[in-house]
Amino acid sequence: MKARKIILLLGFFAFINAHGQESFDTIIRNGRIIDGSGNPWYEADVGIVGERITSIGNLSAASASTDINATGLVVAPGFIDPHTHAIRGIFDVPTAESALLQGVTTLTEGNDGSSPFPVDEHFAEIVEAQISPNWGIFVGQGTIRSRVIGSEDRAASAAELQRMQDMVAEAMQQGALGISTGLFYVPGSFTPTEEVIALSRVAAEYDGIYISHMREEAAQLIDSVNETIRISEAAQIPVQMTHHKVIGVENWGASVESLRLVDEARARGTDITMDQYPYTASQTGITALIPQWAQEGGRDRLLERIESPETRQSVKNEVVDKILYDRGGGDPKNVFISRNTWDRSMEGKNLAELTVERGMEPSPENAAEVVFEILQGGGATAVYHAIGPEDVDRIMQHPATAIGSDGPLSVFGDGAPHPRQYGTFARVLGHYVRERGVITLEQAVRKMSSQTARRLGIHDRGLLTEGYYADVAVFDADEIIDKATFENPHQYAEGMKFVLVNGQVVVENGSHTGRRPGKIIYGPGYVGD
């Protein structure tokens, strides 16, 4: 608190120069301030000293080492992405252009139950890499279970559960924001609900959150929402249903019921929120088409099952069902290979095309054979066009929904990735706000900044207010737009003019400056050195 008062005093008195004027390191002048609270915009200047915002108001008489003219531009808090897989890319591209050119100043890793461990060793690697954005992390339940139990489909013993609880406590003390699960993925899918509750209670002791890729987002979506609410209430932990969506044409519209359940839970005091990416396609491994029972025991056991005459047809039948009624969206042409390190020629092609290339009709049954070929070769990542567009709108409009990309950091030109890693935040501002009016600009900024900051327990970012870190996004509301498409994904967003991270300009006139001022964002349980 004393430090905060000192910072504010610097804001009020700044540094008085020889002419008696207030002096700042940076002033952003004449911008339309959208402060992240959801309140209407107003015109003002933003004064920055060091890493902090020290004054907001009329600073026309003040001087600064760096002047940014924001006339006609929106000045907003830097955006916080609550769900990324940015560990895939951050060490190759520590400048993180694909994120920063959207205005994203803070990234979080460790989602979907998978994370580095131990957390402190990972943080040391991030510090050594000297990255441009800020960086936080969740501890992955799947990672912990894998280390203790492996990929077996069984409940933990008492001793194993205790060991996993100790690992969660260790991660929280080292600065994790909370615990994540990927109950759709092995080994998370083999985890009983009570085990998740027991681990989440540990994270709750350190004021962390529970963020979950739920067990199912297709036919069993509602059951999965109910399970997530139960975990939150039983563990007494805030919960975020991450990348909330409805998969499979036959299930479209189910968000009406899922959001009703969320509203009912919130009304009785359950602290539940959501995040979302603004696309009608998902991206994950090709194993999303494989039944979870076939994945028990790991890759070698999976290959045995698809090569065995006794089990191959059973696995194939379920792959066909997933193509028809789940992530396949009813047609093999809806599944595109986005990354395949062992056969680059597959990247950018859909299962129907790959089936035809092999001299077969593009039926779901033949597409399943191509899936088996991909698994035998080494696996791949795929984009699945199967999300309901009306559900996207409905979920976005809900007041408890934040925005997150669910994407890695792009190495420009590498593979055929989902465009979300280049365009999520710009797409909301350009397509959903300006072009379609699904939500207002003020609502969008709030969903990208303060809403996520509060959810993650970050108390000095996410708002434009005196005393907060100077993470700032300056953009043209009439121009900002995503350019990345599924056909041509390697395109940076346009319209982001300036971005500051911890008071340093990392984007200037739409180009990255090369500066790398990012900091570690420690969770509330962090005990320090």
Output the six-digit token pair for 91: 């060490």
Where is average pLDDT lowest: 202-206, 306-310, 398-402, 517-521?
Answer: 306-310
**Alpha carbon separation from 471 to 8, 78, 103 (Å, rounded):** 17, 5, 9
Question: Is pLDDT above 70 for 16?
Answer: no
In whole angstroms, what is the distance from residue 524 CA to residue 205 CA?
10
Where is average pLDDT lowest: 18-22, 208-212, 332-336, 446-450?
Answer: 18-22
Closest CA to 485 of 399, 411, 426: 426
**Per-residue pLDDT reduced to its tens digit, 319-348:** 999 999 999 999 999 999 999 999 999 999
- Decide: 54 and 24 in contact? Cβ < 8 Å: yes
Amino acid (1-letter code) at residue 192: P
Residue 139 three-state SS? strand
Contacts of residue 309, defined as CB under 8 A and 6 or more positions apart, other chains included, come to none
The residue-averaged pLDDT of 252-262 equals 98
Angle among Cα 177, 401, 95 to the nearest 5 degrees reads 55
Closest CA to 464 of 64, 45, 90: 45
**Per-residue pLDDT reduced to its tens digit, 32-54:** 999 999 999 999 999 999 999 99
For the chain, what percent of residues have pLDDT higher than 90? 95
- Helix, strand, coil share (%) of the chain residues, nearest 5: 40, 20, 40
**Per-residue pLDDT reduced to its tens digit, 350-402:** 999 999 999 999 999 999 999 999 999 999 999 999 999 999 999 999 999 99
DSSP tag of 247: B
Question: Is pLDDT above 60 for 11?
Answer: no
Output the six-digit token pair for 203: 């994270």
Tell me the pairing of strands 209-213 and 335-339: unpaired
Up-side HSE of residue 136: CA atoms within 13 Å toward CB? 31
**Alpha carbon separation from 216 to 130, 145, 363 (Å, rounded):** 37, 19, 25
Give the model's confidence band at 18: pLDDT under 50 very low, under 70 low, under 90 confident, else very high.
very low
Backbone angles phi, psi at 147, to 5 degrees: -70, -30
Tell me if the pTM is above 0.75.
yes
- Decide: 502 and 518 in contact? Cβ < 8 Å: yes
* Residue 498, beta-bridge partner list: 474, 508
- Decide: 106 and 70 in contact? Cβ < 8 Å: no
Backbone angles phi, psi at 251, to 5 degrees: -100, -5
Question: Is pLDDT above 70 for 20?
Answer: no
Give the model's confidence band at 21: pLDDT under 50 very low, under 70 low, under 90 confident, else very high.
low
Residue 123 three-state SS? helix
Tell me the pairing of strands 381-385 and 335-339: antiparallel
Write down the pLDDT at residue 415: 87
**Alpha carbon separation from 140 to 30, 137, 301, 323, 364 (Å, rounded):** 44, 9, 23, 28, 34
Q: What is the DSSP string of 392-453?
A: HHHHHHSTTEEE---B----TTSS---THHHHHHHHIIIIIIIIT-SS-HHHHHHHHTHHHH
Output the six-digit token pair for 408: 């890695």
In whole angstroms, what is the distance from residue 102 CA to residue 80 CA?
11
**Per-residue pLDDT reduced to its tens digit, 468-480:** 999 999 999 999 9
For the chain, what percent of residues have pLDDT higher than 70? 96
The residue-averaged pLDDT of 170-198 equals 97
- Decide: 246 and 221 in contact? Cβ < 8 Å: yes
**Alpha carbon separation from 24 to 21, 50, 51, 56, 64 (Å, rounded):** 10, 9, 11, 12, 5
H/E stretch holding 109: strand 104-109
**Per-residue pLDDT reduced to its tens digit, 126-161:** 999 999 999 999 999 999 999 999 999 999 999 999
Amino acid (1-letter code) at residue 223: D
Residue 528 three-state SS? coil
Residue 307 three-state SS? helix
E-strand ranges in 110-258 read: 134-137, 139-140, 178-182, 209-213, 239-241
Question: Is pLDDT above 90 for 15?
Answer: no
Q: What is the mean pLDDT of the chain?
A: 95
Question: Is pLDDT above 80 for 253?
Answer: yes
